[in-house]
């Protein structure tokens, strides 16, 4: 029943003491929060830790949510800052995020396999491979814009930068993504030939 409530209504129920309302918020957004966390983390365990920390921080700060932006924008800004803090603490080498298991771990989240969408998964595989090879800021902007369907203003709020800067960074991230995809697909074609 509560899953049909809006994010704002669930927040109001949570602030009134209804813990199940917050559980519904978590269920609604956990997959995308995890996907964003995977863009920064090297392992599934690290991404799970980042995601868990994000939801704990969000719960503790829920009363300070101003409602002048979407809840998802506010939540994703928590993901971004939590992931950056986590990376600083772990001193992760951002050049080594091209772990092959990233795609497999994300795909296994659904828990099913449909043979009819193998072509879609193949495209998705190469796109995810290319995204994981980007720098964390580029991967975040691409993910928020295309998968999170956030506006430039919302991404700016999430990352704490001006929307015009987001526009420039998005353009450059697309160029880098294109280069990564071309390199990946060229290597794939060479392996097939």
pLDDT, tens digit (0-9, with 9 covering 90-100), for 46-59: 999 999 999 999 99
Top pLDDT among 3 and 78 is at 78
**Does the pLDDT at position 120 exceed 70?**
no
pLDDT of res. 117? 53
Between CA 86 and CA 83 the distance in angstroms is 5
pLDDT, tens digit (0-9, with 9 covering 90-100), for 138-193: 888 888 888 888 889 888 888 888 999 999 999 999 999 888 888 877 766 555 54
pLDDT of res. 121? 61
Residue with structure tokens 């101003």?
Answer: 66
- Identify the structural domains of the chain with CATH numbers, from first to last: 2-192 (1.10.1740.10)
Query: What is the pLDDT averaged over residues 60-89?
Result: 86
Sign of the C-alpha dihedral computed for residues 167, 57, 12 and 5 taken in this order: positive
pLDDT of res. 2? 53
Between CA 50 and CA 118 the distance in angstroms is 30
pTM: 0.58
């Amino acid at each position: 029943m509560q899953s049909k409530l809006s994010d704002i209504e669930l927040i109001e129920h949570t602030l009134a003491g209804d813990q199940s309302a917050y559980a519904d918020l978590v269920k609604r957004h956990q997959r995308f929060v995890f996907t964003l966390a995977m863009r920064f983390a090297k392992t599934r365990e690290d991404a799970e830790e980042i995601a868990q920390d994000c939801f704990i921080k969000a719960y503790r700060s829920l009363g300070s949510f101003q409602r002048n932006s979407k809840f998802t924008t506010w939540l994703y800004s928590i993901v971004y800052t939590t992931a950056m803090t986590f990376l600083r603490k772990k001193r992760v080498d951002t050049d080594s995020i091209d772990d092959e298991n990233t795609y497999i771990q994300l795909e296994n989240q659904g828990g099913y396999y449909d043979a009819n969408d193998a072509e879609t998964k193949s495209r998705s595989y190469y796109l995810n491979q290319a995204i994981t090879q980007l720098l964390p800021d580029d991967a975040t902007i691409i993910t928020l814009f295309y998968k999170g369907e956030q506006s430039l203003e919302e991404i700016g709020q999430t990352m704490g930068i001006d929307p015009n800067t987001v526009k420039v960074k998005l353009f450059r991230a697309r160029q880098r993504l294109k280069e990564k995809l071309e390199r990946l697909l060229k290597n794939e074609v060479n392996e097939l030939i």
